[in-house]
């Protein structure tokens, strides 16, 4: 039986693995001492120290085996006072879109892909404020009420810790000739003639993708000189995502099978009957399905609905665009879900039970280009009569970006809802265009970015200056789509409905049609594409 991680110091001491947790705390404390994170001083009169606590985590590999027992000392940042203990807190985080684009390029160009981990990353950040902290449990010296830790370095849990670490890393990496991407502050690149290397920073995880092994080792040596690093070699497991490669065929797959298995087990769905699709074509959801009486509400409080939707959401955000529509739809009822909504959530898990081996795949292609698809239903929301938009962008045979969301207005025609959908899709298309341009590796991105739409009226309206009776109620802000087309930033082209890959992001579909579209998204079984 797998023991849950301790929730505090006392639970750790009562655990069957108590000695392992003690060893982990001693390792963390030694790291604090080696990095000179604090100095012990008498607490000045009138000063109030912030608290701290131990966090315990069992680190596992991609197969679920225990790698190490980790103890981390964190400050209770929620007790900090703005203007006294901190001022600025914002710190950038790399987007999942950026990660997937880099993975697509790794597959297409057969790049080396390595991973490194920054040990105790936040301890590298310099602290600008004067902050006192109580001594950590089990490591007190002298009178703990009178003697406290005066922080000299940033520490996990401080509101400004992530910001200070990022600033330190940025200063170091740009000194080595790396340049920051123009729209993602956590993606860097460096060029040396025909050699190039990309670096993706996600808090303390670093991915390195390069076409030159010498440049890779040079970068690793530089990072190890400035930070305490752990070289993990070929990247195989990052952010809870498994990376599978068949380099001889130019294929890379991103899988969350282990995560999905955990989700299914958590909600007792590991032995459930599999389903062909995450949502049936006929299924509709509305507020009328929400509980109304106090008894119904109390019964639904026993159902872990919000936790289930949150768990499904992480999978959808990372590798599973095929469940984006239904997870987004069910998320609208999280405040007061009904039994019909819970049954629908369990259907999604039953679908994942059937497809947990599926991966988001990329492959070497003859023509490398970012292509988008935009779609919308019409007045699909039973409560507000608003429509649901969906878009998806592909690169190297797989999805790099997608979204399914309810529109903010009630539109009066199918042309209007499709045009609004194009607006949302083109907004993100501009971001993608800028990101890829900043990588300086795709020349054809200079051409207009293709966006396909299956509504002829919306396509025609996007491509000419004339107004029509169908368009007179469209808000002026959406007209930027026409400007983007005229300036050559994007091109909106018509495509037949049966070829609209974004269709599963706006509605339930029959199994055959659904699987055809998701296969074009790159969501397939890895074995199916390597045989």
Tens of pLDDT, residue by residue over 248-289, are 999 999 999 999 999 999 999 999 999 999 999 989 999 999
103 and 131 fall within a common domain: yes
> How many domains in the chain?
3
17 and 76 fall within a common domain: yes
- The reply to whether 49 falls in a domain is yes
66 and 129 fall within a common domain: yes
Q: What SS3 class is residue 496?
A: coil
- Out of 213, 239, 265, pick the residue that ends a domain: 239
Per-residue pLDDT of 136-188, as tens digits, reads 999 999 999 999 999 998 888 888 888 888 999 999 999 999 999 999 999 99
How far apart are alpha carbons 216 and 197 in whole angstroms? 7
pLDDT at 466: 60
The domain in which residue 294 lies consists of 240-364+518-531
- The reply to whether 305 falls in a domain is yes
- The reply to whether 81 falls in a domain is yes
pLDDT at 160: 84
With contact defined as beta carbons under 8 Å apart, do 418 and 453 qualify?
A: yes
Residues belonging to the chain = 531
CA distance from start to end of the chain: 38
Residue 427: partners with Cβ closer than 8 Å, 6 or more residues away: none
132 and 244 fall within a common domain: no
Q: DSSP letter at 477? A: G
Check: pTM over 0.75? Answer yes or no: yes
Give the residue among 69, 44, 33, 46 at the shortest CA–CA distance from 141.
33
pLDDT at 80: 73
Give the residue among 417, 401, 421, 405 at the shortest CA–CA distance from 329.
405
- Out of 179, 214, 239, pick the residue that ends a domain: 239
340 and 452 fall within a common domain: no
Strands, E, within 185-331: which ranges?
187-192, 195-202, 205-210, 229-234, 237-238, 241-246, 251-255
Phi-psi map region of 287: left, alpha, beta (phi>0 left; psi -120 to 50 alpha) = alpha
- The reply to whether 30 falls in a domain is yes
390 and 470 fall within a common domain: yes
232 and 298 fall within a common domain: no
226 and 248 fall within a common domain: no
Burial 24-39 (b: 16+ CB within 10 A, else e): bbeebbebbeebebbe
Helix locations, 115-183, DSSP H: 161-174
- The reply to whether 260 falls in a domain is yes
Per DSSP, what are the bridge partners of residue 159? none
- The reply to whether 182 falls in a domain is yes
- The reply to whether 509 falls in a domain is no
126 and 205 fall within a common domain: yes
27 and 115 fall within a common domain: yes
- The reply to whether 1 falls in a domain is no
pLDDT at 1: 45
348 and 378 fall within a common domain: no
211 and 80 fall within a common domain: yes
How far apart are alpha carbons 141 and 148 in whole angstroms? 9
* Below-50 pLDDT ranges, the chain: 1, 531
pLDDT at 471: 54
């Amino acid at each position: 039986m797998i023991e849950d991680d301790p929730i505090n110091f006392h639970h750790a001491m009562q655990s069957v693995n108590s000695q392992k947790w003690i060893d982990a705390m001693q390792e963390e404390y030694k790291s604090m001492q080696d990095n000179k994170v604090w100095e012990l001083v008498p607490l000045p009169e009138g000063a109030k120290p912030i608290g701290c606590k131990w966090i315990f985590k069992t680190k596992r590999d991609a197969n679920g085996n225990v790698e190490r027992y980790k103890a981390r000392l964190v400050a209770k940042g929620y007790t900090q006072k703005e203007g006294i203990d901190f001022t600025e807190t914002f710190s950038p985080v790399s987007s999942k879109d950026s990660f997937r684009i880099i993975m697509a390029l790794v597959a297409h160009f057969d790049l080396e892909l390595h991973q490194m981990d920054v040990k105790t990353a936040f301890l590298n950040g310099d602290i600008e404020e004067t902050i006192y902290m109580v001594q950590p449990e089990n490591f007190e010296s002298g009178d703990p009420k009178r003697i406290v830790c005066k922080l000299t370095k940033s520490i996990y849990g401080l509101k400004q810790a992530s910001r200070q670490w990022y600033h330190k890393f940025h200063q170091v990496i740009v000194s080595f000739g790396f340049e920051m991407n123009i729209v993602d502050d956590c993606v860097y690149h460096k060029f040396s003639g025909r050699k190039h290397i990309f670096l993706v920073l996600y808090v303390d995880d670093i991915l390195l993708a390069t076409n030159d092994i010498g440049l890779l080792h040079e970068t690793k040596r530089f990072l190890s000189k400035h930070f305490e690093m752990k070289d993990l070699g070929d990247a195989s497991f990052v952010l809870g995502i498994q990376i599978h490669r068949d380099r001889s065929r130019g294929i890379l797959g991103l899988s969350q099978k282990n995560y999905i298995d955990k989700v299914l087990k958590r909600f007792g769905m590991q032995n459930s009957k599999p389903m062909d699709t995450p949502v049936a074509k006929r299924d509709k959801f509305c507020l009328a399905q929400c509980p109304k009486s106090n008894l119904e509400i109390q019964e639904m409080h026993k159902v872990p609905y919000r936790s289930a939707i949150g768990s499904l959401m992480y999978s959808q955000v990372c590798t599973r665009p095929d469940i984006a529509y239904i997870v987004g739809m069910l998320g609208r009822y999280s405040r007061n879900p009904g039994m019909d909504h819970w049954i629908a959530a369990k259907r999604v898990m039953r679908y994942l039970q059937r497809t947990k081996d599926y991966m988001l795949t990329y492959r070497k292609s003859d023509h490398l280009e970012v292509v988008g698809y935009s779609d919308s239903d019409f007045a699909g929301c039973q409560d507000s009569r608003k429509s649901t938009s969906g878009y998806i962008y592909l690169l190297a045979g797989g999805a790099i970006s997608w979204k399914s969301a309810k529109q903010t207005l009630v539109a009066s025609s199918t042309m209007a809802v499709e045009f609004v959908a194009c607006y949302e899709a083109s907004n993100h298309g501009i971001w993608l265009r800028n990101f890829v341009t900043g990588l300086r590796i795709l020349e054809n991105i200079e051409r207009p970015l293709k966006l396909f739409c299956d509504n002829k009226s919306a396509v025609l309206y996007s491509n000419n200056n004339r107004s029509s009776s169908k368009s007179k109620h469209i808000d002026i802000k959406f007209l930027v789509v026409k400007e983007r087309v005229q300036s050559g930033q994007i091109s909106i082209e018509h495509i037949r409905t049966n070829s609209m890959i974004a269709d599963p992001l706006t509605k339930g579909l029959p199994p055959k049609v659904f699987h055809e579209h998701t296969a074009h998204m790159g969501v397939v079984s890895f074995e199916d594409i390597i045989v």
